Chains A and B, each alone.
Chain A
């Protein structure tokens, strides 16, 4: 695993941290990492402690589980509880709370909910169990949407009639637009998402620089990637530039992945509007199966309650997702809302800011420094 180790090399990190210290701004800046994978890396490696006091990291709406609204979770549970249905999903969706508990609760009550590692596993399940209806609970940005698309096409080509998709795929640009359209966003730059950019490329972020005058650097997921992106953003700010740059060139191309993009276009249409947790209903932000593939659309096949359900009043996930408050500033963080008994989605996925902070970050900066000192 030398590939990974190169990007965790402490000596290289020291050099980047020195560069960051040299570029440290005099007045505080706030940089938002869009992607939950970055949030996870930042907390898991304690990167915030290593930055100058004037450089703040703000966590954004790029964790696919976190932005799933309550109503869609309820819809998934309703599907899972239908007679003869097997609901297949990724593991971290199991604990996401709906208004009547989670899929884990539904499973313990008798619903047939299976964890799969890819949508193709769900299709295999459908082939193996022709007497059951297998519904794949699809979530995620353009990162995971291509594998869902490929699976739907394969189901069509192989005539697997008992397979369908409950589609909750979303696109990355609309939530960024929504954030920047808020007049008091107080953001100075973005660490752009890595995985999703392998598919969509970097041109989709041009509006951030052109229309809003902010720099954006697409970054990989190793701690050194994130630190390098911070240095590149600080350099842009110091030089008064605002450009879309790419730190993750070993994987991300400016034009993205044309094959995957064509696949998305073949299978999905853009919904006129889709509800996001914390951000409200955003235009042109969700994907649904095209009408010619309606036979594989679980919403068409079974119908779902489709209700919009308001978040619990105490839940401040919306403010966390918009970077307005830090996880620990939420009134229920760590008390009523914990990883065991999450109220909000941000506490569920390890990529959620609250879960990542609860798991790794619950240390005051002074205590963290003290514990790291004078080790034998």
Chain B
């Protein structure tokens, strides 16, 4: 047997192992379970999905559920909890995130956001002035997103029971008749569009923590994406699938796409839009911008013949000025995301394991 065959056999064995349902046998929750990678998937599948069942579309409790009460119009329903340190960072605050995160989950299933709920868990001793500022941010963000906060709840817990404040929002939106965005519509040959630069939010927050002794002019991209989605759907009516590239970044979301659609995705390194300041900070820290969180960027899969129209439309929209076509869907190997490097080689882009931790040297 040649070395190549042996390698192929070893790789097939490893792929078979990776296709198994992730095993979860941890006794305590670690930060890795919250980072959006494989550990998160294992926790959600084993603890929640196994007990609460799957979403209406058979998805394992998707970011937004699509409900089909009656008639042509469907409803989308989602919820999210928000804790971030620091609560205020260049470009926004946890208040903005609490609105944008939820309305964006709705927009990604093609829904027009209608109403939000807001639950606030406050730590004893939290400054009312800061609370007012956060609520101002929530009101302003909701205003821009064209959505109203229509119900809410407040709880105060003892010192140490929560780190300052935890915001929980739920949102509901309407999906116009005939609109159906899902991974199952994705076909080989389709193109992948990103609406702008990668990693701005994650890097802005990481630097705002002030632990890295690094300063750079980087702002969070937090923004509501529904208006851009409407424009894209007009320009590319065949649009197949949408996702916002939040926790775990573009790499994680594209891996989820490849898995769900049973396709391969080849990303083009040269086409990936990254601001120089973000690229520089990532390089110093040994972090790949493909894995860094965004709060105002979407990924869209469009048919090849609508790709240029989608790109043009995105670039003329204020939220998509740096949009780019960054990849292409292939038939096989199913579930694999690869990156074609600027040097002409190809390598795997895997799901992140745990938190992105800076390397030692």
Question: Shortest Cβ distance from A9 into chain B, in angstroms?
Answer: 8
Residues of chain B within 8 A of A143, CB atoms compared: 361
Judge whether B360 and A140 touch: CB under 8 Å.
yes
Question: Shortest Cβ distance from A43 into chain B, in angstroms?
Answer: 7
Which of B28-36, B90-98, B144-152, B155-163 lies at the interface with chain A?
A: B28-36
Judge whether A362 and B348 touch: CB under 8 Å.
yes
Judge whether A43 and B347 touch: CB under 8 Å.
yes
Judge whether B340 and A121 touch: CB under 8 Å.
no
Judge whether A1 and B283 touch: CB under 8 Å.
yes
Q: How many residues of A contact B (CB 8 A)?
A: 65
Q: Mark A134-175, 1 if CB is under 8 A from B, else 0.
A: 000001100110000000000000000000000000000000
Judge whether A117 and B211 touch: CB under 8 Å.
yes
Judge whether B14 and A362 touch: CB under 8 Å.
yes
Q: Is B132 an interface residue (CB 8 A)?
A: no
Which of A178-186, A204-212, A267-275, A326-334 lies at the interface with chain B?
A: A326-334
Judge whether B347 and A334 touch: CB under 8 Å.
no
Contact of A372 among B30, B211, B336, B345 (CB under 8 A): B345
Q: Is A49 an interface residue (CB 8 A)?
A: yes
Judge whether B345 and A49 touch: CB under 8 Å.
yes
Q: Provide the bound-state CA to CA distance between A361 and B346, in Å.
A: 9
Judge whether A367 and B358 touch: CB under 8 Å.
no
Which of A73-81, A88-96, A237-245 lies at the interface with chain B?
A: A88-96
Q: How many residues of B contact A (CB 8 A)?
A: 56
Contact of B345 among A46, A115, A358 (CB under 8 A): A46
Q: Is A223 an interface residue (CB 8 A)?
A: yes
Q: Mark B349-361, 1 if CB is under 8 A from A, else 0.
A: 1100111011111
| Interface secondary structure of B, over-half rule | mixed
Q: Mark B319-361, 1 if CB is under 8 A from A, else 0.
A: 0000000001010010010101111111111100111011111
Q: Is B304 an interface residue (CB 8 A)?
A: yes
Judge whether B286 and A350 touch: CB under 8 Å.
yes
- Pairs of residues from A and B, 6 with the lowest C-beta to C-beta distance, nearest first: A46-B345, A91-B357, A334-B14, A339-B353, A90-B360, A372-B346
Contact A360 to B328, CB < 8 A, known contacts A37-B361, A115-B357, A335-B13: no
Q: Provide the bound-state CA to CA distance between A371 and B347, in Å.
A: 9
Q: Is A44 an interface residue (CB 8 A)?
A: yes
Given contacts A109-B28, A359-B348, 14 further A-B contacts (CB under 8 A): A4-B279, A49-B345, A50-B344, A104-B30, A117-B211, A326-B7, A328-B7, A361-B348, A363-B336, A363-B348, A365-B7, A372-B340, A372-B345, A372-B346
Judge whether A13 and B343 touch: CB under 8 Å.
yes
Q: Is A133 an interface residue (CB 8 A)?
A: no
Question: Shortest Cβ distance from A94 into chain B, in angstroms?
Answer: 7
Question: Shortest Cβ distance from B92 into chain A, in angstroms?
Answer: 24
Q: Mark A320-363, 1 if CB is under 8 A from B, else 0.
A: 00000010110001110011100000000111000000111111
Which residues of A come within 8 Å of B, CB atoms? 1, 4, 8, 10, 13, 17, 37, 43-47, 49-50, 64-65, 90-95, 104-105, 107-109, 115, 117-118, 121, 139-140, 143-144, 195, 223, 326, 328-329, 333-335, 338-340, 349-351, 358-369, 371-372, 375-376
Question: Shortest Cβ distance from A7 into chain B, in angstroms?
Answer: 11
Judge whether A371 and B340 touch: CB under 8 Å.
yes
Q: Which residue of A lies closest to B281 (CB)?
A: A1
* Most-contacted residue by chain B among A65, A368, A376 (CB, 10 A): A376
* Most-contacted residue by chain A among B6, B347, B359 (CB, 10 A): B347
